[in-house]
Amino acid sequence: MSAHVKRVLAALAVGFVATTSVMAQPQDLPPRPRRADNPPALWNYFVGIVIVAAIGVASTIPSKRGHQD
């Protein structure tokens, strides 16, 4: 057998093994994602307000540019 034929057969064998192992899995439904008991809505608003306030304060700081000729 040539090297090319061996490579093709090896690739087919790997693909066959991979698909049979996947097909052997139980066909149950995927797990449902858990939801947080208490969503942190207030915490998210607080962080947003702090970020906006920091941007506002940073934009009001005067630049220290002196007299430019």
Largest CA distance in the chain: 84
Q: Compare 32 and 68 and report the one with higher pLDDT.
A: 32
- Contacts by residues 9-16 (CB-CB < 8 Å, ≥ 24 positions apart): none
CA angle 45, 46, 48 (to 5 degrees): 65
Say whether pLDDT at 65 is over 80: no
Q: What is the pLDDT of residue 25?
A: 67
Q: How far is CA 22 from CA 10, 16, 25, 30, in A?
A: 18, 10, 6, 14
Q: What is the pLDDT of residue 24?
A: 67
pTM value is: 0.40
Tens-place pLDDT, residues 22-60: 676 676 777 777 876 776 788 889 999 999 999 999 999
